[in-house]
Structure 1
Amino acid sequence: MQITTIILAGGKSKRMGTDKALLELEGKTLLERAINLCKPLSFELLISSNNDLHARFNYPLIKDEVKNCGPIGGIYSGLKQSKTDWNLVLSVDAAFVDAPFLQFLIKNTGDFDAVIPFSEKGAEPLIALYHRSCISKMEELLENQDYRMHNLLKSVKTNWVDAQEYLNKNTRLFANLNRPEDLESSKI
């Protein structure tokens, strides 16, 4: 199965105070880390971002067709540009996701529109897989200015996969680097 990766790197980074995608962790930017992780699994790789600086990584930069609507806008624009049915979505600030976990998600596609991991901490719709069949439902939600991922996932055939086993092995699996202190504590 061919997979396109859509790296969500277009957030406003309000809590971080600077572009998260260009922050460094262990000698690489968060965007480079995401690219290196996903490249071996991907037929193509797209960067969802409105920041032209992200084009320096030599992957197609997909700008939001619908502005200021959060992650659903980036995913929607990426799905529309994708050449494959299945698309791996990874938020750039999820710096500790690993390849075995992504392979686990890919193995759970089946006859679904989305594959969403969850644990006792909740669902992770920005470390997930989306089929292009979600586009029409996304268009409907965007037209109604309903930008909640939860509403999308309620309205498509979603495979909710239990990720607790993976989280037990990698306790930082779903950690997001949202604030400067998150980045600093991750370096320890």
Structure 2
Amino acid sequence: MEVTTLILAGGKSKRMGTDKALLELEGTTLLERAIKLCKSFSSELLISSNSESHAVYSYPLIEDAYKNCGPMGGIYSGLKQSNTDWNLVLSVDAAFVDAPFLQFLLQNAGDFDTVVPFTEKGVEPLIALYNVSCIPAMEQLLKEGDYRMRNLLKKVNTKWVDATDFTSRNKRLFTNLNRPEDLESSKL
């Protein structure tokens, strides 16, 4: 199965106070970590960002077609540019996602619009698979000003996959680095 990876790197990083994609963890920027992780799964890699500082990685930068809409705007714009049906979406601040988990997601692709993991803590729509079949529903929600991912996931054919086994082995799997203290504690 051919897959495009869309790395969501266009957030405003308000809580972090600086561009999260360019923060370093273990000597590598979060954006570089995401690229390295996803390259082997991807026939194409796109970076959802409006920042030219992310262009240094030689992958196409995809600007939001709908501005200031959060992740849905980035995912929508990436799907519109994708050359494959299935698209692996990874938020750049999810620095501890691992290859076995991504393989698990890909194994669950089928006759669905999305494949979204969940645990007892909730759902993870920014570490998930999206089919280009989502585009019409996303476009409708964006035009209506409804940017909530959970509303999209209710509207399309979503396969919910239990990620509890993965989080029991990798406690930080869904840890997002949103604040300076998150970055500091991740180095321990």
Superposed pair shares fold, TM > 0.5: yes
CA distance in 1, matches of 2:110, 2:132: 14
Q: Which structure 2 residue ranges, 5 or more long, are not aligned?
A: none
Query: Which one-letter code corresponds to 2:78 in the other structure?
Result: G
Q: Which residue is 2:130 aligned to?
A: 130
Cα deviations by residue, 1:19-54 (Å, 9 ceiling, x for unpaired): 000000000000000000000000000000000110
Q: Which residue number in structure 2 is paired with residue 53 of structure 1?
A: 53
Q: Indicate the residue corresponding to 2:35 in structure 1.
A: 35
Deviations 1:70-117 (A, max 9, x none): 000000000000000000000000000000000000000111000000
Aligned amino acid, residue 84 of structure 2: T
Q: Is the partner of 2:160 in helix, strand or coil?
A: strand
Q: Identity across aligned pairs (percent)?
A: 75
Distance 2:34 2:48 in 1: 12
Amino acid in structure 1 at the alignment position of 2:138:
M
User: What does 1:89-100 correspond to in 2, within 5 Å?
Assistant: 89-100=89-100
In structure 1, the residue matched to 2:109 is 109
Specify the alignment match of 2:182 in structure 1: 182
State the Cα RMSD in Å: 0.3
Q: Which runs of 5+ in 1 are unaligned?
A: none
Which amino acid in 2 is paired with 1:115? V
In the aligned structure 1, how far is the partner of 2:159 from the partner of 2:79? 18
Distance 1:30 1:143 in 2: 31
Displacement of 1:9 after TM fit?
Answer: 0.1
Query: Distance in 1 between the 2:133 and 2:23 partners?
Result: 34
In structure 2, what is the Cα distance between the partners aligned to 1:72 and 1:114?
Answer: 13
Q: CA deviation at 1:183?
A: 0.1
Counterparts of 2:182 and 2:173, CA distance in 1:
14
Cα shift at 1:122: 0.3
User: Paired residue for 2:159?
Assistant: 159
Runs of 4+ residues over 3 Å off in structure 1: none
Give the total of aligned pairs.
188
